[in-house]
Structure formats: C-alpha cells, structure tokens
Amino acid sequence: MVTPGGARRDLQRPLENAVTTIDLLRLFLWVVAAAIVGSVLYVSALERSRDFAVFKAFGTDSGDLVGTLVVQAFVLAGLSAGLAVGLSRLLAALFPAVISFPSRTLVALPLVALAVGLLGSVAGARRAIAVDPASAFGGP
C-alpha cells in the first residue's frame, strides 16, 4: 500500500543528488561572495592608507575607521542581496517552469549577506588598524 507521504518521497528521490549539488554550489557561492567583498574592501583600504594615516594623525580612533569599513561592507553586501532578489524574480518569470521563493529565503538572504559583509571587512579593517599615522608625513 503506497501512502501519500511515501509517494512524495519516492518522487523526490531522483532529485536528491541534484538538490545536494545545488546546496553545495550555493555554499561555495557564498564563500566566493565573501572573498569578493573582502577583496574589494581590502583594495579600497590599501588605496586609502594615506587617508587613514591622515585621519589617525588628526586623532581619529582606529575603531571609527574600522566602523566606516564595516558600514561600507554592509552597504555593499546589502545592495548585492537586493540586486540578487530582483534578478531572481526577473529570471524566474522568464524560466519555463514554476519557481517558488519561500519567504524564509527572502529573510535569510539579507542576514547571510550582512554576515558575509562583516566577514569580508576583516582584512580591510586589519589594514586600517595597522596604518601608522607617522606615514602621513613626508612627500607624495
């Protein structure tokens, strides 16, 4: 005797490998996103080393500089998450099948993006903390 639950599980069995693959791919893409956000912020921090030195020479706390980098990371990750949601809705409408977006996904996406942004800002923050205000002196 086949129950409705058993029938559903049986129907989903051929998809198990595909779902596992997509989950792994999704995890990998989050790691890539963290690396991209981190790279962008680190390069930005490197380019602004002299600015950081000047601000420190004027008495700005390292914590305030780190705070601006974290905010920048949040904005970058948040905008990316918003763009991702918009694009997924647009592409879903063009896809020749019904694609549903569970509401928990829409809630989780910005939260994960903020966590990724925070993680990505670590390298840039370390750079900002390490800048010596004495390097603001001297020629260009």
Partner 1 sequence: MSDLAPAVMSDLVVAGLTVEYVAGGHAMRPLEGFDLCAPGGSFVLLAGPSGSGKTTLLSCLAAILSPAGGSITFGDVEVTALGPRERTAYRRSTVGIVFQAFNLVPSLSATENVMAPLLAAGVRRAEASRRAASLLERVDLADRAAHRPGEMSGGQQQRVAIARALVHDRPLVLADEPTAHLDHVQVDGVLDLLAGLVAPGRVLVAATHDDRLLALGGQRVDLGPAAAPPSPPGR
**Residue 63 structure tokens:** 């914590």
DSSP state of 25: H
15-47 exposure pattern, b = at least 16 Cβ within 10 A, e = fewer: eeeeeeeeeeeeeeeeeebbeebbebbbeebee
State in angstroms the smallest separation of the CB of 139 from partner 1: 6
State in angstroms the smallest separation of the CB of 35 from partner 1: 25
56 vs 127 by CB, closer to partner 1? 56
DSSP state of 140: -
End-to-end CA distance of the chain: 82
16 vs 64 by CB, closer to partner 1? 64
88 vs 135 by CB, closer to partner 1? 135
State in angstroms the smallest separation of the CB of 45 from partner 1: 14
State in angstroms the smallest separation of the CB of 64 from partner 1: 7
Give the footprint of partner 1 on this chain (CB under 8 A). Answer: 50-51, 54-61, 64, 133-134, 136-140
